[in-house]
Amino acid sequence: MLVNKYILPINSGSYDYLVIGKNIAKELGLKAQDRVMLQNPKYPEKQTLCFAEINEGKLKKNSIGIPLRTYEKVKKGLNLKFKIQKEGNIKSIDFIKEKLDGKKLKEPQFQAICKDIVDGNLNDAELAFFVAGCYTNKLSFKEAAGLTKAIADNGFKLKFRENQIVADKHCIGGVPGNRTTMIVIPIIASLGIKIPKTSSRSISSPSGTADTMEVLAEVDLKQEKLENLVKEYNGFIAWGGGCNLAASDDELIRIRRKLGLDPQGLVLASVMAKKYAAGATHVLIDIPYGKFAKVQSLHKAEELKEKFEKIAKELNVKIKVIITKGNQTIGRGIGPRLEAIDVLKVLNNEKDAPKDLLEKSLKLAGDILEMIGKAKLNEGYSIAKKQIENKKAYMKFQELIQAQGEKKLLQKAKHQYEIKAWKDGKIKEFNIKLISKIAKIAGSPKSANSGIEVLVSLKEKIKKNQTIYIIHSNQPNLLNQKIKQYIKDSILIS
Amino acid sequence: MLVNKYILPINSGSYDYLVIGKNIAKELGLKAQDRVMLQNPKYPEKQTLCFAEINEGKLKKNSIGIPLRTYEKVKKGLNLKFKIQKEGNIKSIDFIKEKLDGKKLKEPQFQAICKDIVDGNLNDAELAFFVAGCYTNKLSFKEAAGLTKAIADNGFKLKFRENQIVADKHCIGGVPGNRTTMIVIPIIASLGIKIPKTSSRSISSPSGTADTMEVLAEVDLKQEKLENLVKEYNGFIAWGGGCNLAASDDELIRIRRKLGLDPQGLVLASVMAKKYAAGATHVLIDIPYGKFAKVQSLHKAEELKEKFEKIAKELNVKIKVIITKGNQTIGRGIGPRLEAIDVLKVLNNEKDAPKDLLEKSLKLAGDILEMIGKAKLNEGYSIAKKQIENKKAYMKFQELIQAQGEKKLLQKAKHQYEIKAWKDGKIKEFNIKLISKIAKIAGSPKSANSGIEVLVSLKEKIKKNQTIYIIHSNQPNLLNQKIKQYIKDSILIS
């Protein structure tokens, strides 16, 4: 039937719906959450599948409410009338049911599901059934690979000529200050190798790579810009959330978070889809483990390593997984501004650059160079080191900053709180979780110049009253009893 | 923080939410679908938990959008400012996760979940996770009983004094014309026994008991009215959906329908919760089976019988499950008006009353009388029969009609189509699914005087050109090629 539109002053969130009055619903035989096709009758190609929300209150006669997102899909010219008709179920629903029933899905079925997610044709309940199916009836590696491709295909993808080598790196996270990406990318790119890098913002940490990079340059870049950057400069360091990369995965993550579900196959597909969409042929994965890290034992790290290797095999992507120690912070700074300063010092080969950050970055860059055959075995590290010493990586980084859009470095935070050792001794343990917590209380990552400078390292001998941290914050009187206790518990002196 | 309200011209559907602008969301640290407490600051008892919908578009400064349903919960006086604050997760989420992980839940956990469903504290994704958990990790009978009580407790419940006998009957459906409820209730109630009966409207059949009763009387009755009816007249025949009976079950059914999931425990709880909420101490269940019925074999009917018996045991409710043949339509009419006429003829003990409907109803009523000890073994049938013969059941039915609100009987449908036998022979098979389909095409249940009069029965010998059906419909020229084929396939003459 033909109806008048009535624009609702809200977005529809993740799927398309129409608010339909009781009368129209009765006429079309619609129940709440039935699917309806909305079409611009003058431009029949302008149409979209929507869910029906039945309005119990008053709506103007023969009018429907259209949220902005949905309206964008059908509007053209000054059309005031739209056509709606009831639609049956979609194929994806059958596939989701099959997964919940324990059947194995194939790639085309994941493709259909991801396309419907991106098109807004699946509502939250249907997505939850899909996640529940993947949770209770684990995805095989073949299935995870199928889902990976489907997530990548139904979003923004970087295209390269055949046989083009494209590198990528990924750290599973959890270690404060671990900003190797911002050093590895310019090293590799400065050697003429493609290494486009999309990173995430902080979810629960004091800073994500995107947050730190954002101190120096724009990271919220459009697809076309990213394509040009990789063409011209071999890479970029951008925020992955801004360019529709793995859009269906964002929806799956949103639903997973409701119950805190981390089904193995979905987690693997989530990580690998971003690499796959970035065109990666060679991927280096860093798994730090430690008592307070995300992965708490070597055994668990090795299990995870094996899983990454298996899915990469299914995806026909070369992978190297390294397991590193995640028992202390890396670099000197924690928090966007302080981390950015560390990165600049390392790239600029400055004398007081944090050695641990430099060494880890060179190791990772060397591994990539060896993996893609740009360096012989055990020679990657020294090739990478040369790019730091001859400042080529630094120049590449400056090039990227300029090209992405340079930002003026923030001032230091208003307040500095020096934390001193409470006794003589040796640093026996870093509780990196608590250190993250303190940096977040100080204001990171929202207040980008807040954070912590860590001045000591594991096993170091220290004297009473020696400064071990400097907390940067814009908040006065930060050091209340609670945070003082966190500080005391964050480092074990024996 | 304090915010201005902005009423959205829509209902929120099944849960409460607020539309919150980006700025407020940032200030409160809210992500989409986080939980928020909305409070009327002058009347702090007026508060409700809501989901945050983050608005990407424009909202007036410090304003939130409140759907009508949510606004009703907090409004009082002329308050323009409301208080919102971020809230953590609710306990139910943990229980849902436990169920999805395969743990057994106990009654208090189901109580918490059902309360949160009714309060609008769980969104569709969370409900879907719960349904998926119950689907993949089947509910035990103990769990199903816990859920039954929780559904019943978190909705409208009829209250009776202790040891009061309250009867109920239920048919799992699927046989057109099977309107025994409308005969059994007046028989039992006329004997001074409490038998409140909530029925459903048609979902996929040509008529539900509520649709048929609605031809004669109001069925959409308020809770207080129902309480008075059972007190004064021992019973009623009302629509279950109008009185908040098993409100959380309605939500679970809505979510189950998305994937067509019928997890055993949820289905049992769904049926039993309505009996439990109606105060039933004794329940008679009728399971018709047949090639074209819902339950297709005797074996499956026996399996289902055992399940009902097990859950009733857990609930401490007396149950009798009878398995009946569902291989032909019952009574003469199919469709609300025609069925109502059958019921009136049976109750009024008229000569041309359909015998099969009378006999089945007497059997069911007799079983109830024996179960509750009002009749000795094998004497229930004759006691029930007496109530028909002495017109006491008819008078009780008229009493109920008057008390619920009498309706004027509809005129006959505009068109009658006589369907004649296409050859001499014997009726070998009724395809009751196809007969339902034909009645629905004729207009049932929406057009209440549409339907079918079936003039023959199984094994009956018939002559060519003898009328076997009369289709009643308000549509002219109903008999197109397609419906003619359905008719031919609906009855097997051999």
H, E, C per residue of B200-246:
CCCCCCCCCHHHHHHHHECCCCCHHHHHHHHHHHCEEEEEHHHCCCC
What residue of A is the nearest CA neighbor of B126? A258
- pLDDT value of position B353: 97
User: Best of A93, A136, A253 to disrupt the B interface by mutation (most B CBs within 10 Å)?
Assistant: A136
- pLDDT value of position B11: 61
Verify whether residue B262 is a known catalytic residue: yes
User: Best of B259, B266, B446 to disrupt the A interface by mutation (most A CBs within 10 Å)?
Assistant: B259
Cβ <8 Å between B129 and A124: no
Task: Name chain B contacts of A32, Cβ cutoff 8 Å.
Answer: 13, 254
What residue of B is the nearest CA neighbor of A97? B259
Q: Is the pLDDT of residue A269 over 60?
A: yes
**Phi and psi, residue A172, nearest 5°:** -75, -5
Q: Convert the pLDDT of each residue in A441-477 to its tens digit.
A: 999 999 999 999 999 999 999 999 999 999 999 999 9
The one-letter code for the residue type at A41 is P
Give the closest of A55, A124, A261 to B11, CB-based: A55
The one-letter code for the residue type at A475 is Q
Nearest to A445 by CA among A239, A222, A205, A278: A205
User: Best of A59, A250, A258, A440 to disrupt the B interface by mutation (most B CBs within 10 Å)?
Assistant: A258
Share the mean pLDDT of chain B: 92
User: Best of B68, B136, B441 to disrupt the A interface by mutation (most A CBs within 10 Å)?
Assistant: B136
**Phi and psi, residue B151, nearest 5°:** -60, -45
User: Best of A22, A23, A129, A447 to disrupt the B interface by mutation (most B CBs within 10 Å)?
Assistant: A129
Cβ <8 Å between B126 and A128: yes
Cβ <8 Å between B129 and A259: yes
Task: Name chain B contacts of A65, Cβ cutoff 8 Å.
Answer: 9-10
Structure tokens at B463: 């002559």
Q: Convert the pLDDT of each residue in A188-223 to its tens digit.
A: 999 999 999 999 888 889 999 999 999 999 999 999
Q: Where are the beta strands (DSSP E) in B26-114?
A: 35-39, 47-55, 63-66, 81-87
Task: Name chain B contacts of A133, Cβ cutoff 8 Å.
Answer: 132
Which residues does residue A417 pair with via DSSP β-bridges, in sequence order?
A: A471
The whole-angstrom separation of Cα A158 and Cα A167 is 13
What residue of A is the nearest CA neighbor of B89? A258
Give the closest of A19, A59, A132 to B132, CB-based: A132
Cβ <8 Å between B96 and A135: no
- pLDDT value of position B404: 98
Active site residue ranges of A: 262
Structure tokens at A90: 């979609």
Residues of B with CB under 8 A from a CB of A: 8-11, 13, 19, 32-33, 53, 55-59, 65, 68, 93, 96-97, 100, 123-129, 131-133, 135-137, 254-255, 258-261
Which of residues A10 and A106 earns the better pLDDT score? A106
CA torsion sign, B244 to B247 to B250 to B254?
A: positive
Nearest to A180 by CA among A165, A195, A164: A195
Assign B271 a pLDDT band (cuts: 50, 70, 90).
very high
In this prediction, residues B312-326 reach a mean pLDDT of 96
Q: Convert the pLDDT of each residue in B462-490 to its tens digit.
A: 999 999 999 999 999 999 999 999 999 99
- pLDDT value of position B13: 67
- Rounded (10°) CA dihedral A422, A426, A432, A434: -20
Cβ <8 Å between B135 and A100: yes
Q: What ipTM, to 2 d.p.?
A: 0.85
Give the closest of A32, A68, A136 to B57, CB-based: A68
Which of residues A45 and B197 earns the better pLDDT score? B197
In this prediction, residues B441-469 reach a mean pLDDT of 96
Whole-angstrom Cα Rg for chain A? 26
Cβ <8 Å between A9 and B10: no
Give the closest of B11, B93, B131 to A56, CB-based: B11
Whether residue A452 contacts residue A469, with contact meaning beta carbons closer than 8 Å, is answered with yes
Cβ <8 Å between A126 and B258: yes
Cβ <8 Å between A258 and B129: yes
Any idea which of A8-12, B13-17, B154-158, B303-307 has the lowest mean pLDDT? Answer: A8-12
Give the closest of B10, B11, B124 to A8, CB-based: B10
- pLDDT value of position A58: 63
- pLDDT value of position A57: 64
Residue B192: DSSP 8-state = T
Q: Which of B94, B262, B424, B489 is catalytic?
A: B262
The whole-angstrom separation of Cα B12 and Cα B3 is 19
What residue of A is the nearest CA neighbor of B64? A10
**Phi and psi, residue B180, nearest 5°:** -60, -35
Cβ <8 Å between A133 and B132: yes
Structure tokens at A469: 């941290």
Beta strands B81-87 and B35-39, pairing class: antiparallel
Which residues does residue B55 pair with via DSSP β-bridges, in sequence order?
A: B21
Which residues does residue B237 pair with via DSSP β-bridges, in sequence order?
A: B197
Assign B340 a pLDDT band (cuts: 50, 70, 90).
very high
Give the closest of A10, A33, A261 to B55, CB-based: A10
CA torsion sign, B276 to B278 to B283 to B285?
A: negative
Domains of chain A: residue spans and CATH: 2-87 (2.40.40.20), 167-238+269-404 (3.40.1030.10), 415-493 (3.90.1170.30)
Q: Is the pLDDT of residue B391 over 60?
A: yes
Tally C-beta pairs within 8 A across A and B. Answer: 113
Q: Is A177 helix (H, G, I), strand (E, B) or coil?
A: coil
What residue of A is the nearest CA neighbor of B252? A125
Structure tokens at B230: 């059972």
Cβ <8 Å between A13 and B19: no
Cβ <8 Å between B259 and A137: no
Q: Which residue has the tokens 């002058």?
A: B42
Whether residue A84 contacts residue A37, with contact meaning beta carbons closer than 8 Å, is answered with yes
| Cα three-residue angle B404-B410-B413, rounded to 5 degrees | 150
Task: Name chain A contacts of B136, Cβ cutoff 8 Å.
Answer: 100, 102, 132, 136-137
Q: Convert the pLDDT of each residue in B29-69 to its tens digit.
A: 888 778 899 888 888 888 889 888 887 666 677 778 888 77
Give the closest of A55, A58, A100 to B132, CB-based: A100
